Amino acid sequence: MIAYLRGKVKRFKWGFLILDVGGVGYKVNIDPQLKIDNDIVDTQKTLELFIHQHIREDINDLYGFLEFQDLETFSRLISVNGVGPKAGMAIMASGNSKNIYDAIENEDMAFFRSITGIGKKVAAKIILDLKSKITDEGAGKIVGGSDSNDVVEALLSLGYKKPEQA
């Protein structure tokens, strides 16, 4: 499993780059909004990327991030059922890790629904799944919070029943 690459940028295009690592060129998908300085794209400079390798029966794609925290955020996003790497990259392009965690903490359905390909059900799953994972792992600053009507409404539409108060 590839987790980190360090090399020189051979080619840079919208959404991906080719990184020359010891004479081998790796195509790495990156955030299309990523602001890479022209200095970094210079073929004489070395670029370090934290990598998520996505393997399925017919694909073997690499997704690269400048910061390890962004890689962790991406990995958490794609752990949610219904969120694949392309949707994960779209979410990452919508803001940094802090913005995404804030949206989860504040149960901001509008943040996720504003992203192409993310509907009401997937937005609710992201908030529900990641809020509990991040809290359980102690990995983020997200703790507690109140139920949002939008999240409850979305879960009810998925067939979940509202818990009864004793």
Q: Which fold has domain 81-157?
A: DNA polymerase; domain 1 (1.10.150)
Q: How far apart are CA 162 and CA 155, in angstroms?
A: 9
pLDDT tens digits, 118-137: 999 999 999 988 987 765 45
pLDDT at 78: 94
Average pLDDT, the chain: 81
Name, in order, each residue with C-beta under 8 angstroms of 165's C-beta and a sequence gap of 6 or more: none
- Token code pair at residue 43: 């073929």
Name, in order, each residue with C-beta under 8 angstroms of 56's C-beta and a sequence gap of 6 or more: none
Please give the residue that has the higher pLDDT: either 163 or 79.
79
The reported pTM is 0.74
Q: How far apart are CA 41 and CA 43, in angstroms?
A: 6
CA distances from 23 to 96, 147, 157 (A): 32, 53, 53
Of 8-12, 23-27, 51-55, 125-129, which gets the smallest average pLDDT? 8-12
pLDDT at 150: 61
What average pLDDT score do residues 29-47 get?
67
What average pLDDT score do residues 25-52 get?
76
Q: Sign of the CA dihedral 59, 60, 65, 68?
A: positive
What average pLDDT score do residues 23-40 get?
76
| Type of residue numbered 142 | I
Enumerate the CATH 2.40.50.140 domain ranges in the chain, comma separated: 4-65
pLDDT at 166: 41
pLDDT tens digits, 132-162: 776 545 444 433 344 455 666 666 667 776 6
pLDDT at 165: 44
pLDDT at 134: 67
pLDDT at 96: 85
pLDDT at 46: 83
Neighbouring C-beta atoms of residue 1, cutoff 10 Å: 6
Enumerate the CATH 1.10.150 domain ranges in the chain, comma separated: 81-157
Q: Is the confidence at residue 15, as pLDDT, over 80?
A: yes
Name, in order, each residue with C-beta under 8 angstroms of 125's C-beta and a sequence gap of 6 or more: 80, 81, 82, 83
Q: Which fold has domain 4-65?
A: OB fold (Dihydrolipoamide Acetyltransferase, E2P) (2.40.50)
